[in-house]
Structure 1
């Protein structure tokens, strides 16, 4: 009977265990003892012997790189470059993807051995397919209104870009509005485009004093009408006291009769609009409500940032119960227990810490660590099969 240093054929597609044809070792570094032999069974004298090894494949220590891993100039370990994902060696050693370009609104990554660009700006796209000029096409124009080649051929309906919706349309969405200076406005009420584009109203009117918290502006396409200043309202209908309601109050938050719930405040949202904030369990931080128990940018209090890039390398921070907690990035670990250098150990490539601290490959034989596992290959009774 042959010694049992075999792996089931169904598991033979990758590197599952590391062996040197004398014993087996799993990727966690623990040894797997060989079988001591089969247990006793009863057979008839004329029964044919069964082939216990049928369908099994033996694996031995591999000492060469296996695709897509390779060793490139500057490598720290044998076979530590994955040509499918490494942005500095994308598809082949030395082929680097372009650097991220915030000015051109693009970021770059290596995907399946090819450099891939992602546009990061809402109003720009890559329409010519050339990486060097990144996201070269500005949206919001008549030639590329809301996408590459989406034109606005009608001169009466030019492209209008909505910065809040991050989208463009040919002409104004609302038929009652008019396009003025690349914005859609209602000329019946617009103080800067009263009755037509460019007609500005004099807030002082004809020299008479406006009511309290009011000015003279556009109404029904005509200047000189008393209007409430921003964030004030005439909620009692009395023209004598003008616009008496503060729309940042909890009793008129953003409009007459809008009352905030007990414990809430009336504050500006991210667009500067008066809004009742915050619901129970949330804290108001920089114009928004957050849960300081879990928010990584406001952990335990406003402006406590767990994601500060100056923190330890190869780690990411998150917020747990109001405290910043740091976790190693995938493929990295903290094996020296020194918080100053963060997660310093490369679990994907370090043969002395392959997949985990202290998990050692056969370094003397030159066995590489590939993607966090000690490399093995199918072999015959006499050694690796070539």
Structure 2
């Protein structure tokens, strides 16, 4: 009989411009540490699932095969690499869950990583454009930031200039990131700095400023999944009350670019599966690749009607002391966004909250956590709702 998959352990390293030369080295730092955290070893693993986008960040590919180089006991374990743009880590995690829940294995190691900083910035921008529809969007000024700049401009055109609210989101996430030992930037930048256009905070893709954009990062995170019948044998177990993956059409020209309809559907389906409402969540880790994304995601998750997410920001609902804290980790904005690692990292942050091990990030009494990770401009949308089972 197949059993549900639960999270038994994890590992996370600080994100930033790291000395490790490649994803092989980054993944080695987290894979064995995650197994140790789960009280398991390489010989216990039935499947390895790797999330690395790459797409030109480094010449070495065949990323799924690299994890076993850290431990001879992993040499003959089936390994698969997943790629789904900025949701690559969640794609690896969900595929590993499918592996266990189909009955094909009982223990899976999920590793997400990316080495981005070894490339010049123009090359990085071009690689990231692979997460857009190049036939129509390759020449957008500002690269992938330009894609979200157009989304922000369209949102402002319909609902008014919300630059101040975007700066409030950036300031909130940087304030939260100070308490995150894994964050790339642990500095409270403040609202005024985030709101003002200056030499240190110029426009990147109008109306988005530098502080509206997530970071270029190296990093890795890992999760160990086990079949729930093994929960008694591991030190902890985090259960998925729900998990949903909903796609939207890739070209922005063929959909309403500010509706985030795939994200909204993923949230509705996940809450229905969990038999919950937003009021049942103690916090959310959401995908703030750009501050405009977080703003629209408030509407997609149902915190506000279309065009009214600014009220959520102004009322402080998503602050750490608000009704529904969003990104107490600092989010991608402060923590960093190594593409393949992000989805895994977001789930690790949720698990830390649920086990009361989040330190200064901790939301007291956190019992139910939502995670939203997306690939591209709200194309691949993943929503998880987690709770502690042990």
Common fold: TM-score over 0.5: no
Taking structure 1 as the reference length, the TM-score comes to 0.19
Comparing both structures, which one devotes a greater share of its residues to strand?
1
Bigger RCO (CA 8 Å, 6+ sep): 2
Comparing both structures, which one devotes a greater share of its residues to helix?
2
